Amino acid sequence: MNRKLFALARDNAGRGSGIRSEASGDSATIYIYDVIDAYWGVSAADVAAELSKITAKNLTVRINTPGGDVFEARAIMTLLVEHPAKITAKIDGVAASAGSVIALAAETVEIADGGFYMIHKGWTFVMGNADDLRTTAGLLDKIDASLIADYVAKTGKDAAEIETLMKAETWFSAEEAVAAGFVDAIMPTTAAKAKANARAFNLAIYDKAPQALTEPEPEPDDSVRERMLARLGLYERTAA
Distances (CA, A) of 93 to 164, 165, 203: 24, 21, 12
The answer to whether residue 235 is domain-embedded is: no
- Return all residues near 131 (Cβ < 8 A) that are at least 6 apart: none
pLDDT for 212 beyond 70: yes
The answer to whether residue 55 is domain-embedded is: yes
The answer to whether residue 39 is domain-embedded is: yes
What's the pLDDT at 240? Answer: 52
The answer to whether residue 239 is domain-embedded is: no
The answer to whether residue 217 is domain-embedded is: no
Give the torsion sign (CA, 6, 7, 10, 12). negative
CATH number at residue 23: 3.90.226.10
Mean pLDDT of the chain: 89
β partners of residue 116: 94, 173
Please give the tally of structural domains in the chain: 1
pLDDT above 90 as % of the chain: 65
What's the pLDDT at 33? Answer: 96
pLDDT for 1 beyond 50: no
What's the pLDDT at 12? Answer: 83
Give the torsion sign (CA, 175, 176, 181, 183). negative
The answer to whether residue 100 is domain-embedded is: yes
Residues 73/43, Cβ–Cβ less than 8 Å: no
- Condensed to tens digits (0 to 9), the pLDDT of residues 157-186 reads 999 999 999 999 999 999 999 999 999 999
The upper half-sphere exposure of residue 93, i.e. CA atoms within 13 Å in the direction of its Cβ, equals 23
Average of per-residue pLDDT across 128-134: 92
- Condensed to tens digits (0 to 9), the pLDDT of residues 190-208 reads 778 887 888 889 888 898 9
Between 6-15, 145-154, 224-233, the lowest mean confidence (pLDDT) is in 224-233
What's the pLDDT at 6? Answer: 79
Between 81-85, 114-118, 120-124, 162-166, the lowest mean confidence (pLDDT) is in 120-124
Average of per-residue pLDDT across 58-62: 98
> ∠ CA 30-169-112 to the nearest 5 degrees?
40
Q: What is the pTM of this model?
A: 0.85
The answer to whether residue 224 is domain-embedded is: no
pLDDT for 58 beyond 60: yes
- Condensed to tens digits (0 to 9), the pLDDT of residues 10-50 reads 888 888 889 999 999 999 999 999 999 998 999 999 999 99
* Model confidence band, residue 219 (pLDDT cutoffs 50, 70, 90): low
Q: Which domain holds residue 88?
A: 3-209
What's the pLDDT at 2? Answer: 57
The answer to whether residue 163 is domain-embedded is: yes
pLDDT for 233 beyond 80: no
